[in-house]
Amino acid sequence: AQSVTQLDSHVSVSEGTPVLLRCNYSSSYSPSLFWYVQHPNKGLQLLLKYTSAATLVKGINGFEAEFKKSETSFHLTKPSAHMSDAAEYFCVVSRAAGNKLTFGGGTRVLVKP
């Protein structure tokens, strides 16, 4: 069975400082991993996806994530936060059968001016 744990429910950063969102997963096989972002009352937007081609994955809006199999982690980072990055972020793992996704509980990011 797959599971996803986002280690921080809330993260607060100042504009222009780095952002780190932590995600650990468990899976009985080599999964696909995703990060999605959700702004208030909106749908989810795909930030990036890992599918075993490269361990460092670059996404949209300056975000990137590193897959570390030994640590079963897939942390999301951005070098410099912008006010528009204030949103909720979900780490997601795909399940083998039926293309079903398992979502983490989400991390809400607050960006202070």
Partner 1 sequence: DGGITQSPKYLFRKEGQNVTLSCEQNLNHDAMYWYRQDPGQGLRLIYYSQIVNDFQKGDIAEGYSVSREKKESFPLTVTSAQKNPTAFYLCASSPRRGQDTQYFGPGTRLTVL
State both tokens at 94.
Answer: 């795909």
Position 61 contacts partner 1 (CB under 8 A): no
Q: Which stretch binds partner 1 (CB under 8 A): 21-29, 33-41, 57-65, 69-77?
A: 33-41
| List of long-range contacts for 66-73, beta carbons under 8 Å, 24+ apart | 67/33, 71/24, 72/24, 72/25, 72/26, 72/27, 73/22, 73/23, 73/24, 73/25
Q: Which residue of 19, 47, 104, 109 would you call a contact of partner 1, by CB under 8 A?
A: 104
State how far the Cα of 81 lies from the Cα of 62, in Å rounded to an integer. Answer: 9
Interaction between residue 99 and partner 1 (CB under 8 A): yes
φ, ψ (nearest 5 deg) of residue 48: -165, 165
| Residue from 22, 62, 77, 103 binding partner 1 (CB under 8 A) | 103
Q: Which of 28, 70, 98, 113 binds partner 1 (CB under 8 A)?
A: 98
Residue from the set 3, 9, 52, 84 that interacts with partner 1 by CB under 8 A? 9
Closest to 92 in 3D by CA, of 80, 84, 107, 102: 102
Per CB under 8 A, 100 contacts partner 1: yes
- Answer yes or no whether residue 36 interacts with partner 1 by CB under 8 A: yes
Residues in the site for partner 1, rule: CB under 8 A?
A: 4, 9, 32, 34, 36, 41-46, 49, 90, 94, 98-101, 103-106
